[in-house]
Amino acid sequence: MKSNVLGVKIDGVTMQEAVHRIAGMIGQSKPHLVVTANSEMVMMANRDPLLYEIIERADLVVPDSIGVIWASKALRQPLPERVPGIELMQALLEQSAVHQWRVFLLGAEPGIAEQAAEAITAEYKGINIVGTHHGFFAQSELQAVLEKIKAAKPHLLFIALGVPKQEKFAAAHLANLGVPVALGVGGSFQVLAGVVRRAPLWMRKMGLEWLYRLLRQPARISRAVVLPQFVLWVLLERFLSGGRG
């Protein structure tokens, strides 16, 4: 089942179901794209036709933010639970250690992917990280980066280039890379590397992780201003659709 949130279709999956579906994708030969959709991405997709098309064609779109969960309920198409990108990544890393899936980390500032790989290797015993590369490469270096990924033959490619760059990178190159699953994970490498802290658990449970990030990184205010607009658009859509429920 999918929920339509301001025109963006999001899969109604739990964390466990998302991991199960991705595990099935890894067993197939064709490449798959997994998108972690939050409120900001939904608004961006309404202004960026290419991003909208990429999300539309993605093999799995999970509800990454509390805003998306709220919107699905307000629009009477409730999603079962939030599936945060970093927690989905951690669940997949855990399964990777068990099933010996090959993992590649692409993105973040120079050195961060390597730090994240070290932390992951320490936490998930037996995991097979087959390569890392930072996300600050020039267009002239793109081919070399693609060849590095292709040569590593990962089952899982985690891309931390930020939205929409990571989704557009995957859409443009995934078929050529031959990677079974690519997943955009935003700032997850910084968290795993210990450079950035996540919100306390109580804040996460209350759906206030966005506020914690804003307080810790005031520069994010330019991105956060889209959230009130998202709320207004959802309420307007609910009103126009009859306001029942």
> pLDDT digit string (tens) for 24-66?
999 897 999 999 999 999 999 999 999 999 999 999 999 999 9
Full 3-state SS string of 149-197: HHHHCCCEEEEECCCCHHHHHHHHHHHHHCCCEEEECCCHHHHHCCCCC
- Do 178 and 150 form a contact (C-beta atoms < 8 A)? yes
- Do 133 and 148 form a contact (C-beta atoms < 8 A)? yes
Return the SS3 of 7: coil
Domain ranges (residues) in the chain = 2-240
pLDDT, residue 225, reads: 75
Summarize pLDDT for 111-156 with one digit per residue, the tens: 999 999 999 999 999 999 999 999 999 999 999 999 999 999 999 9
Summarize pLDDT for 175-204 with one digit per residue, the tens: 999 999 999 999 999 999 999 877 788 777
β-sheet bridge partners, residue 131: 104
pLDDT, residue 221, reads: 59
- Per cent of the chain over pLDDT 90 is 82
**Phi, psi (rounded to 5 degrees) for 84:** -60, 140
Total-model pTM: 0.91
Is residue 244 predicted with pLDDT exceeding 60? no
Task: Give the integer Cα–Cα distance in Å for 90 and 86.
Answer: 6
